[in-house]
Amino acid sequence: MGVFGALGKLVMSLGRELFGSAARGTDGIVELAEKLGVKMDALQDSSPEELASVMDTAVRQRLIDPRDANNVKIELAKDAQRAMPASSSEFFEAMGDEGALTEFSGIGNLVDTYVYKNSQQALKDAMSDPDYNIYRDVLKTNLNKTFPSGKIPVRRAENYLTKRPEEDLGNKYKTINAEDISFASNISENEVIVKEGEKFTSYFIDDAQKQYKDSFNIDAAHGQGDSNTSTGTVNVPMGDGKVREMGVEFEPGRTLLADENMGINRFEEVSDKMNETLDPNNLGTWFGGYNSRGEPDVANFFAGRGGDDAAGAVYPVKLRIENPKIFDRYEDFEDEMREWSEMAEEGGTDVTSQAFVKDLQDQGHDGIMIERSDTDTGEVRSDYVPFNANQIRSIFAKFDPSKKDSGNISASIAGGAVGLGALQSVRGDDGNLQR
């Protein structure tokens, strides 16, 4: 079973090979890597996220061209995605009717009674079974193998919702700790059971994460000319015990958070932009697709536009835009904006970027797609503007559905790992918002 964030402990992956070549061939990166805790003679011991973070920092310290760093990070991201478990089927095969539930038949029968009759008492009896401690050891071993981070995105088992109306179900999606799981059902149910207080609660872990991840089906990239000039978000504990994302300001050159190379952890949505006029740049953050050679050429263009003195960076991402307003060419998009502006003026409506986006949202659109754009570089690719920040994720993200409302592209990365440009300090999810 693969382990996310730890691929390559047995063999050297292509991403690590490219990292090693780039680091040794570029002055200063080897020293930077060692400073950040990456051992060049043992790259297989560093996660793809850790190596990508070195590349991000090297870009901001102007040690390497962002386009070259991006090529390395894309391969590292492929390493990380290949290392993610495709499903939980192996776990349930080991713990289900073909495995532990047969070996521990007394416990298996009681788990079946709970699954099919929703009998809380059956699980209490199972925990009193003389073999339960041995069963629990087997369960723990398989959980550690399948979910090495110890955090499991799940969705509430819906077939129990109407049977316990007194329960406050909260969010349908959440993340549970592997150590809190008391039982696992067979593969046909793909259900784990957690003891919460005096009651047992059922969750499915077979498809919640996969469905959420698959919804981010657009590969794109954003090029930032100077990623040290931005505002940012931090996670702030509130008086009610919850944690909320709050905006903070980062001026050029400030090291308020003791890290001048923190990079972007959230991209601006339309509500973050200026709203005095109708401006394409204020509809949200623009992302470019990949050209016919598989290159993020327009992202590379904007990352390098500031010249050698700018801390440029390229951010490859996954986008979730389910119903975009589609235009063939950028000129068609401009024509649409012009026609809308004239109609808005005639109708006495505000002629602003937010008003334009709201009109598109009222029509059911959640973003913009230009299928054959060739602006800035002359290379044909698709361009995208998602309207909300939570439609954007780092390509390193593990896509935790319990974090679906967050605009922080690193909020869904497994185990607090950091992704492309979404550098986290050891103190939290501090970072910068794309300007």
Examine the domain organization and report whether 146 and 257 are in the same domain. no
- Residue 71 has which token pair? 């090529």
Examine the domain organization and report whether 200 and 227 are in the same domain. no
End residue of a domain, out of 184, 206, 228: 206
Examine the domain organization and report whether 250 and 110 are in the same domain. no
Count the Cβ atoms, other than its own, within 10 Å of residue 4: 23
Examine the domain organization and report whether 118 and 236 are in the same domain. no
Examine the domain organization and report whether 362 and 420 are in the same domain. yes
- Measured between alpha carbons, how far is 383 from 81 in angstroms, rounded to an integer? 24
Query: Which phi and psi angles does 377 have, rounded to 5°?
Result: -115, -20
Q: What per-residue confidence (pLDDT) applies to 433?
A: 41
Q: What per-residue confidence (pLDDT) applies to 56?
A: 80
Examine the domain organization and report whether 261 and 390 are in the same domain. yes
CA distances from 427 to 246, 259, 307 (A): 15, 11, 32
End residue of a domain, out of 145, 178, 206: 206
Note down the domain range covering 114.
89-206
Longest dimension (CA), the chain: 79
Q: What per-residue confidence (pLDDT) applies to 45?
A: 82
Examine the domain organization and report whether 117 and 258 are in the same domain. no
- Measured between alpha carbons, how far is 6 from 147 in angstroms, rounded to an integer? 12
Q: What per-residue confidence (pLDDT) applies to 313?
A: 74
Residue at token pair 């005096």? 198
Examine the domain organization and report whether 282 and 360 are in the same domain. yes
- Measured between alpha carbons, how far is 118 from 124 in angstroms, rounded to an integer? 12
Residue at token pair 């109306």? 165
- Residue 194 has which token pair? 């957690």
**Total count of domains within the chain:** 2
Residue 246 β-bridge partners: 234
Examine the domain organization and report whether 124 and 149 are in the same domain. yes
User: Residue 196: inside a domain, yes or no?
Assistant: yes
Examine the domain organization and report whether 169 and 223 are in the same domain. no
End residue of a domain, out of 181, 206, 231: 206
- Measured between alpha carbons, how far is 4 from 416 in angstroms, rounded to an integer? 12
Examine the domain organization and report whether 382 and 257 are in the same domain. yes
- Measured between alpha carbons, how far is 244 from 267 in angstroms, rounded to an integer? 17
Per-residue pLDDT of the chain (435 residues; tens, 9 = 90+): 333 333 333 356 888 999 999 999 999 999 999 998 898 988 888 888 789 888 888 887 888 887 788 888 888 877 766 555 445 777 888 888 778 888 899 999 999 999 888 899 999 999 999 999 999 999 998 888 788 778 887 888 765 544 444 444 445 778 889 999 999 987 666 789 999 888 999 988 756 667 788 889 999 998 877 655 444 455 656 667 766 655 544 444 444 443 344 467 778 888 888 778 899 999 999 999 998 888 888 988 888 776 665 566 788 899 999 999 999 999 999 999 999 999 999 988 889 999 999 999 999 999 999 999 999 999 999 999 999 999 999 887 777 777 788 887 765 443 322 222 322 222 233 333 443
pTM as predicted: 0.62
User: Residue 328: inside a domain, yes or no?
Assistant: yes
Examine the domain organization and report whether 223 and 201 are in the same domain. no
User: Residue 320: inside a domain, yes or no?
Assistant: yes
User: Residue 56: inside a domain, yes or no?
Assistant: no
User: Residue 36: inside a domain, yes or no?
Assistant: no
User: Residue 5: inside a domain, yes or no?
Assistant: no
User: Residue 232: inside a domain, yes or no?
Assistant: yes
Composition of the chain by helix, strand, coil, percent to 5: 40, 20, 40
Q: Could you give the dihedral angle defined by the CA atoms of residues 179, 428, 38 and 81, in that order, rounded to the nearest 10 degrees?
A: 60
- Measured between alpha carbons, how far is 102 from 106 in angstroms, rounded to an integer? 8
Asked if residues 381 and 260 have their Cβ atoms less than 8 Å apart, the reply is: no
For residue 419, what is the DSSP state? B
User: Residue 84: inside a domain, yes or no?
Assistant: no
